Amino acid sequence: MHAGGKGLGGVAVTDGLQVVATENDGRYELITDLSRRFVSLSVPAGYALPTHATGTTRCFHRIAPGANGSMEAQFPLTPLSVEDGRHAFLLLADIQTQNIPDMTRFRQETVPDLKKTVS
């Protein structure tokens, strides 16, 4: 794991069965097999995950080893500009959005309600 070109140690990386921590230079080794589909991480305090153009986080990589049987999965993290020690946790189950109008309604109605709840 890296942030601004600097390695981050102690970041938890998992295949859903095993968990390893990154070394101080950000490197890690996770030995797994194809029965596991993804490698993901637990975002460390003080950092944000990268996002897709849609705004969803890029917090996992599909396990797809190369010809030599290994692969590399990096998660470029960004340091936060504010303290993140205080949290609110909301769980949204399958919100059943199927198209752009559904997502527009979600963003215009649900997201403001969630922000109000958190504040």
State residue 118's pLDDT score.
84
pLDDT given for residue 25 in this prediction: 92
Average pLDDT per block of 10 residues along the chain, 119 residues long: 84 94 92 91 87 86 89 88 80 87 92 90
What confidence score (pLDDT) does residue 12 get? 94
Asked if residue 76 lies in contact with residue 54, where contact means CB atoms within 8 angstroms, the answer is no
Q: How many CA atoms lie within 13 A of 79 on its CB side?
A: 7
Which pLDDT score is estimated for 90? 82
Residue 104: the pLDDT is 93
pLDDT of residue 58: 85
DSSP state letters, 66-85: -TTS------EEEE-SS---
Domain residue limits, the chain: 2-83, 88-119
Give the pLDDT score at 36.
92
Give 2-83's CATH code, choosing from 1.10.3470, 2.60.40, 2.40.170, 3.30.1920: 2.60.40
